[in-house]
Structure 1
């Protein structure tokens, strides 16, 4: 009976990506994705983000909409989910193909922020409201605020950081583009897209 229930949960009709039988609010969809495991969440974001459109509200909020979902959502909130997934890809050793899928979403977010920033420049009132809304004390980079990090391309490559022992296993003798240390002493090395594509082609990942 348990096996049957498990199969039902994993069937395409019930997956997080395909469950669109009834109109769903965009905010609910984003929340659903944020609570999924890494691979399902990345797949869900890849299905969602390319269809997003943005505009700046008259009160300075960065708003996104999607033709499949009802209502709207805040761009910063959607981007925050994506940025957290970037880190999860790193710390939870996501499959290499999943990491590429996650990384591929950066240009979409970059475009959305570029458009909303341009709208702010075109309207002094919206620009003022936007800055008031997004003002916080302290370092925006340290907090990982997406409205700062994405336009500056900061913290947006974390999905391509690979645990050091795995990096050395996948690309022996190849120097990394950069490195990152965590509080627990773990070290991660930054791989290039070309390295990851090559590793996928060689089938280097161990079966799990």
Structure 2
């Protein structure tokens, strides 16, 4: 019996980062999407049983983007994650079009929600991805990591996050976006350097 799709997605976060991203790459080609009468994004796959919540997969994808920064991911891992940016946005976009039409003709009605405020600010996967706020997240570096690799080279943007710690002290974190070209060139340079090192085997 084939494994349950929802269970498979729920286990993805336990994988090491590169494998966690690769698991999304591997599953994407067979995914089929639909929208329930209550406006829930659903997916199914021929190799798995049952349906799953697309937002569970979306949340996993977004979390992997954040992990690229916090786990100081290598260039290949970051590029692998970025390769999914358009694919997942297009997938959500197609289902959003279906939902919008269903909402207009009365065949789809969202469930009442107690959530308030901005869906993107809450981090809702569908809102975040449809707004393209996920684009290039894999290329976000902690400031020192960026400086160590590219020095004062012009960056692709930056962001500052502020919060209050458990002692009530204001904290902040400054992070810098690299461009895809920067990451690709850095990977190429690293591979060329590695090729010049004599094998010790």
| TM-score, normalised relative to structure 2 | 0.81
1:116 corresponds to which residue?
A: 95
Q: Is the 8 A contact 1:86 1:156 kept in 2?
A: no
1:39-61 Cα offsets, whole Å, 9 max, x none, are 22112122122332201122322
**What is the match of residue 123 of structure 2?**
144
Separation (CA, whole Å) in 2 of partners of 1:40 and 1:140: 29
Matched, 1:59 2:46: no
Partner of 2:47: 68
What SS is found at the alignment partner of 1:119?
helix
The reply on whether 1:44 has 2:23 as its aligned counterpart is: yes
Q: Which piece of structure 1 moves more, 68-77 or 165-174?
A: 165-174
Question: Following the alignment from structure 1 to structure 2, what is the Cα–Cα distance between the partners of residues 166 and 61?
Answer: 39
Q: For residues 86 and 27 of structure 2, what CA distance do their matches in structure 1 show?
A: 14
Write the distance in 2 (CA, Å) between the matches of 1:61 and 1:55.
8
Structure 1 pair 68/115, CA: closer, same or farther in 2 (3 Å)?
same
Contact 1:83 1:156 in 2 (8 A): no
Unaligned 5+ runs, structure 2: 163-170, 195-201
User: Is the CA contact (8 Å cut-off) linking 1:42 and 1:85 kept in structure 2?
Assistant: yes
Aligned with 1:203: secondary structure? Answer: helix
Q: Does 1:25 align with 2:4?
A: yes
Describe the shift of the 1:133–1:76 C-alpha distance in structure 2 as closer, same or farther (beyond 3 A): farther
Q: Tell me if 1:128 matches 2:115.
A: no
**2-structure distance, mates of 1:160, 1:49:** 22
CA distance in structure 1 between the partners assigned to 2:90 and 2:5 by the alignment: 19
Give the distance between the partners of 2:43 and 2:21, measured in 1 at CA.
Answer: 19
Q: Which moved more, 1:160-169 or 1:194-203?
A: 160-169
CA distance in 1, matches of 2:135, 2:149: 22
Quote the offset at 1:181 in angstroms.
2.9
Counterpart for residue 179 of structure 1: 158
